[in-house]
Structure 1
Amino acid sequence: MEQPPEILVQLIDGLDRAGRIALGWLVSPAAWSQFALLAVSLLLAVYLTRRVLPVLRRLIDPGEAREGLFAGVRLGLMRFLPLLMPVIAYGLTALGEELTRSLFGSGAVIAFGKRVFLFIAARILVREVLREGFLHLLGRYVLIPVAALYALGILDDITLRLEETVVQLGNIRFSVMALIRGVIAGALLFWLGSWSNRQSADYIKAQPTLRPATRELAVKAAEIGIFGASFLLLMSIMGIDLTAVAVLGGALGVGIGLGLQQIAANFVSGIILLVEGQTTVGDYVELDGGEAGTIVKMTARACVLETFDGKWIVVPNEHFITSRVVNYSDQGSANRYEAVFSVSYDTDINRVPAIIEAAVSALPFILQKPDGPDCELRGFGDSGVDFAVEYWVNGIDDGRHKYGSPVLFAIWNALKAEGIEIPYPHRVVELRQPLAVPA
């Protein structure tokens, strides 16, 4: 006759032991006294919760003040109020366990009840408090099963079995329990790191006294510090010797020396850009390669330029260090532009500067400081007299904000109103021989 599977044998044996324990509790006076203590603890916990909960709600509720650090903390504490009843019941059963062990030398029943209250607290925590997607998922599939195994009193046995089950990959040996612990701790640490990184980034970017470049540098430094600490803590939790990190760092240095020079150069260039602050988010820049746009994002590897037509150009940070960059300064600063035009040789050119300067000054976006419009004679061309008017505007003529077109319209209208001709190219054709006239 074939032997049944080992897991079935263990299950039957466990059920048999549970049945014997339950039967022993039914006939034991000490067990009945512990059941009575459990019932009293539950009723007292419900009574205390009904009396204490309204008081705590009045003390913690921030009222209409829903913004600010302290209001956020108080709102967060209010989410934990549903845990009040099982926590009080857990504390009362803990006191009852100490009492029964001192009187009867046994407290298995009330200890089981205490673990059940802890399981109830875990369920309420997942259902009422951990509403975020990741934490809710982690609580549902990790915390509640662990609490259930602990309540049944078999968590230690399962943990021991998982510790004894060893997986070997080449020269690396680790237990299944270490792997599970590492996966859970890693997911929790890096979620916490992402949350902390978002909070710190929002806080740093909200500081008006810091320059944009300093804010970006502080955000990157906080991000590296948070995730670096999370990685080292995860290595410690998994039992990995941190000297292996030093070996990994040496291998990374060799890799940078052999094939990652550009990545390292861009990373260092990004740090230099952030520290110097000569180029930062919001600047309109033009590079030697022809790339031009507003810097909308600076990362560890590259800067992202947005053109006036909405396209994004990713430019490696190294280009900002090793090539010539024209920076039209921050948004909102004054910039000078010019518009070129010509008039006919028949024109009294002494009248032109005053006419054009008055017409351009009338435009609403033209600045009078640091200097008003200035019309200059540039030269005598093939078809007409060349002029240029220089003007200042508060912004950048980047294609999205088109200042040049209204200025040219104003020049045209002013010249037409004064009867001044704008020439077009003339060509003189000289005939060496007379044309033959047909008879």
Structure 2
Amino acid sequence: MELPSYQSLQDLYFAAEAWFVTHVLTWGTAAQAAFILLAFGIARLISPAIQRKLKAKQSDLSLWPSIRRFCALSSELALPALWLILQLASLVLATAAGFPPHLLDIVASLLTAWVVVRFLTGIMRAGYWSRVVAFVIWSIAALDILDLLEATSAILDDLSVTFGDLRLSALSVVKGLITAGIMLWIATSLSKVLEQRLRQTRNLSPSLQVLSAKLAKVLLFTVAILAVLSTMGIDLTAFAVFGGAIGVGVGFGLQKVVSNLISGVILLLDRSIKPGDVIEVGQTYGRINSLGARYASVVTRDGMEYLIPNEDLITQRVVNWSFSSPEVRLKVPIGISYDSDVNLAIELAKQAAHDTERVLDNPKPTCLMMGFGDSSIDLELRFWIEDPANGLANMRSAVLLKIWEKYRENDISIPYPHREVILRKEPTAEGTE
């Protein structure tokens, strides 16, 4: 590990000492510091009133969202912006009076950099990360304004570690972190914009929209990571050495992960299932909420969300109730007594289905006689619906309830099972009583 040389540290110390004695330990500097503190105090007293007015505008729903967003951001910058205005005014007065305003100039430059950087990063809408990026960029600008950027860069570059032909310094790490934050933010923002645009494209099916968005996201993040590694001075060809080891790791340790990933791509390409479809896998019945790289999210009628691995959707038997058409035919078995009017029972069953919501008029409901049972005549009502996502069991229940009401009104009875028990008396043996 290389440490900064004694001579470089000594030169930095003498330069800082000379600057401090020349620019700080003077009466002019003290007067400028007083003006700076006075401007800050005035800004601190006035800014709360401005913030209250801006927050009131922010809560006004009649304004456009962009204007309300601008008011929210301006409310956060009210104090430094007002301080900057007062500082610029004092700088103009000092210059007009022929007073050397070096400290006022430095503070005004720092405040200008902070307001501009914070305003631009506030547009990112990334919360915590926007503040981190703002602080990093402002720190670099502050070092440049104070003429300390080159000296700081030299010290960070001297702090280095060497691994063979690779030299990794603190400066390259800092550059890599800054580049990583910027590139990852750009990749995330671009992927969100592309995903929104793809969802609005009507020429693409939902499965192709999801696949295109995933591929674009992977590509953008790959480019971002490669850019970060290149900024840090890492030779990308060195990763070819690890290709064999990565292949072995994938073959043994990541079988399921790779299998689910490939299965997800296959599902998106062949469009066998897509978001919005109603499927049944094993004992799970529900609507596909989203398709991920590793699993599919299926929301049941109970509100439970199952994360089914993509491999199971490829290898297991899957019932897609809305694959080619959302229309589904349901069957309801019915049993009536032998004393009932069969033709009337069939007509009442079809009428009950017709009177139930969600049942389609075309194709029409039908009712067939299926056979003679032990205790009843077996009928089967068949009807169609086009919204299986809203439930099947509740649909059968609603139809059966209508049938029950109509059968009671027309004296159509539903029999109980009958069992006939015959008791035989065994003959007694001869000569016995």
Same fold per superposition (TM over 0.5): yes
Equivalences for residues 139-288 of structure 1 within 5 A: 139-140=134-135, 142-168=136-162, 173-287=167-281
Query: Of 310, 321, 330, which aligns to 1:337?
Result: 330
- More displaced stretch, 344-353 vs 273-282: 344-353
Query: Of 398, 401, 404, which aligns to 1:409?
Result: 401
CA positional deviation for 1:155: 1.4
Contact 1:331/1:395 (CA < 8 Å) preserved in 2? no
CA positional deviation for 1:22: 5.2
| Matched AA of 2:133 | L
C-alpha distance 199-172 of structure 1, shift in aligned 2 (>3 A)? same
- More displaced stretch, 143-152 vs 411-420: 143-152
Query: Secondary structure, in 3 states, of the residue corresponding to 1:350?
Result: helix
Equivalences for residues 331-410 of structure 1 within 5 A: 333-369=326-362, 371-396=363-388, 399=391, 402-410=394-402
Gaps of 5+ in 1: 27-63, 87-108, 435-439
Q: Distance in 1 between matches of 2:305 and 2:403?
A: 35
Q: Deviations over 1:309-330 (max 9, x none)?
A: 0111111111222222110006
| Matched AA of 1:381 | G
Q: Distance in 2 between matches of 1:156 and 1:397?
A: 64
| Matched AA of 1:259 | G
Query: Secondary structure, in 3 states, of the residue corresponding to 1:297?
Result: strand
Q: Distance in 2 between matches of 1:350 and 1:233?
A: 78
CA positional deviation for 1:383: 0.7
CA positional deviation for 1:10: 6.2
For 1:89, the equivalent position in structure 2 comes to: none
- More displaced stretch, 195-204 vs 10-19: 10-19
Gaps of 5+ in 2: 1-5, 28-61, 85-99, 427-433
Query: Of 412, 418, 426, which aligns to 2:410?
Result: 418
Query: Secondary structure, in 3 states, of the residue corresponding to 2:168?
Result: strand
For 2:119, the equivalent position in structure 1 comes to: 128
Q: Distance in 2 between matches of 1:342 and 1:137?
A: 72
C-alpha distance 221-336 of structure 1, shift in aligned 2 (>3 A)? same
- More displaced stretch, 315-324 vs 346-355: 346-355
RMSD of aligned Cα (Å): 4.1
C-alpha distance 227-306 of structure 1, shift in aligned 2 (>3 A)? same
Q: Deviations over 1:17-46 (max 9, x none)?
A: 2267659x99xxxxxxxxxxxxxxxxxxxx
Contact 2:12/2:151 (CA < 8 Å) preserved in 1? no
Contact 2:168/2:232 (CA < 8 Å) preserved in 1? no
Q: Distance in 2 between matches of 1:65 and 1:229?
A: 39
Q: Deviations over 1:77-97 (max 9, x none)?
A: x999x99xx9xxxxxxxxxxx
TM-score by length of 2: 0.73
CA positional deviation for 1:115: 7.7
For 1:138, the equivalent position in structure 2 comes to: 133
Contact 2:360/2:386 (CA < 8 Å) preserved in 1? yes
| Matched AA of 1:137 | V
Contact 1:293/1:307 (CA < 8 Å) preserved in 2? yes
Are 2:18 and 1:14 aligned?
no
C-alpha distance 398-428 of structure 1, shift in aligned 2 (>3 A)? farther
Q: Distance in 1 between matches of 2:376 and 2:134?
A: 82
Query: Secondary structure, in 3 states, of the residue corresponding to 1:346?
Result: coil
Contact 1:149/1:155 (CA < 8 Å) preserved in 2? yes
CA positional deviation for 1:425: 0.6
State percent identity of aligned pairs: 30
Equivalences for residues 304-315 of structure 1 within 5 A: 304-315=297-308
CA positional deviation for 1:171: 8.1
Q: Distance in 2 between matches of 1:110 and 1:193?
A: 43
Q: Distance in 2 between matches of 1:400 and 1:358?
A: 19
TM-score by length of 1: 0.73
C-alpha distance 411-11 of structure 1, shift in aligned 2 (>3 A)? same
Q: Which runs of 4+ in 1 moved over 6 A?
A: 5-11, 109-117
For 1:318, the equivalent position in structure 2 comes to: 311
C-alpha distance 204-353 of structure 1, shift in aligned 2 (>3 A)? same
Equivalences for residues 103-114 of structure 1 within 5 A: none
